[in-house]
Amino acid sequence: MKLFFSFLSIVTITQFLWLQQNKPLKESIIRGNEIYNDFCIQCHLENGEGVAGIFPPLSNSDYLLNNVTESIYGIKYGMEGPITVNGELYDGIMVSQGLDNEEIADVMNYILNSWGNSYDDQLITQSIVNDIEK
Ligand code: HEC
């Protein structure tokens, strides 16, 4: 029992320290994870792997990591027409999920920092999303 509680406190302290580093980004990622599970997972799947030829992957996606602005635009307003993701052609339709700008920032921070993706600790803020207009 004692061991269990010391284990529990180590877990809590580790989580606390983790949150202290780049706190706004990490809190945004946690919120973004929930948004992802509610609005994106049905197509892009649990580990962002997508479905080859139908729903493009987000994990290790060269499109996402090289076209952050276009990706935000797509989540905000919808996306259709041909795109190439990791050498594979996709020509589908993603409708806007009706998220507000803060939710879009959170889900972007989640997908840019999950499944091995990295965006060098840069935070996508609500004002970045605000500035991307039709
Ligand atoms: C109904 C299925 C569906 C849902 C739900 C969906 N997407 Fe997509 N997504 C697509 C399709 C299809 C494309 C490719 C559109 C095209 O071919 O132009 C795409 C493209 C993308 C891309 C750019 C391509 C890439 O793989 O890097 C990103 C980023 C993206 N989606 C993120 C999201 C996020 C974040 C959510 C949740 C807020 C979401 N999508 C919800 C189907 C979906």
Residues 47, 58 contacting (CB under 8 angstroms): no
The one-letter amino acid code at 27 reads E
Domain membership flag for residue 6? no
Domain membership flag for residue 58? yes
The one-letter amino acid code at 34 reads E
Q: Which residues contact 88 (CB under 8 A, 6 or more apart)?
A: 52, 53, 56
CA 126 to chain centre: 14
With a 6 Å cutoff on the Cβ, whether 56 touches ligand 1 is: yes
Strand (E) or helix (H) holding 30? helix 23-39
pLDDT in tens, 4-28: 778 788 888 887 776 677 899 999 9
Domain span including residue 116: 25-130
pLDDT in tens, 52-97: 999 999 999 999 999 999 999 999 999 999 999 999 999 999 999 9
With a 6 Å cutoff on the Cβ, whether 98 touches ligand 1 is: no
- For ligand 1, atom 29: residue with the closest CA: 71
> What is the CATH classification number for the domain harbouring 75?
1.10.760.10
With a 6 Å cutoff on the Cβ, whether 80 touches ligand 1 is: yes
Residues 45, 111 contacting (CB under 8 angstroms): no
Domain membership flag for residue 31? yes
Return d(Cα 123, Cα 84) in angstroms, integer.
25
pTM for the full predicted model: 0.89
Domain membership flag for residue 97? yes
